[in-house]
């Protein structure tokens, strides 16, 4: 019997956050886990296949192997640069 690994696949938007726990075969890649999770069908408005990925906050490619307990993250593009957002808030507060 092939060994399986417990992983999580996560994606968040301002309106919706999803964490999916699943098991994948040993030797599975980040891309395999994302596909197995079915997360793309939960976010049809996003190009999930084109999103950058990471494991526990560290950017990785979709060809990277996963380990037991990994949290696979999908990163959506920022709507605004955080530095620009701070500038806009500071300007609004000075009013």
**DSSP E strands, 1-95:** 4-12, 17-25, 53-55, 58-60, 71-74
Q: What is the pLDDT of residue 95?
A: 64
Q: What is the pLDDT of residue 41?
A: 95
Whether the CB-CB separation of 32 and 70 falls below 8 Å is answered with no
The structural architecture, per CATH, of the domain 4-94 is Roll (3.10)
95 residues of the chain, pLDDT tens digit each: 569 999 999 999 888 999 999 999 999 999 999 999 999 999 999 999 999 999 999 999 999 999 999 999 999 887 788 898 888 888 888 76
Q: What is the pLDDT of residue 2?
A: 67
Q: What is the pLDDT of residue 26?
A: 95
Residue 30: CB atoms within 10 A of its CB come to 24
Q: What is the pLDDT of residue 62?
A: 97
Q: What is the pLDDT of residue 54?
A: 98
Q: Where are the domains of the chain?
A: 4-94
């Amino acid at each position: 019997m092939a060994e399986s690994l417990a992983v999580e696949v996560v994606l968040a938007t301002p309106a919706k956050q999803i964490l999916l726990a699943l098991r994948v075969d040993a030797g599975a890649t980040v891309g395999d886990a994302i596909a197995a999770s079915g997360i793309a069908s939960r976010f049809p408005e996003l190009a999930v296949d084109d999103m950058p990925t990471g494991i526990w906050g560290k950017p990785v490619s979709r060809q990277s192997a996963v380990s037991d307990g990994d949290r696979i993250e999908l990163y959506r593009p920022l709507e605004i640069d955080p530095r620009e957002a701070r500038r806009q808030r500071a300007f609004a507060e000075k009013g």
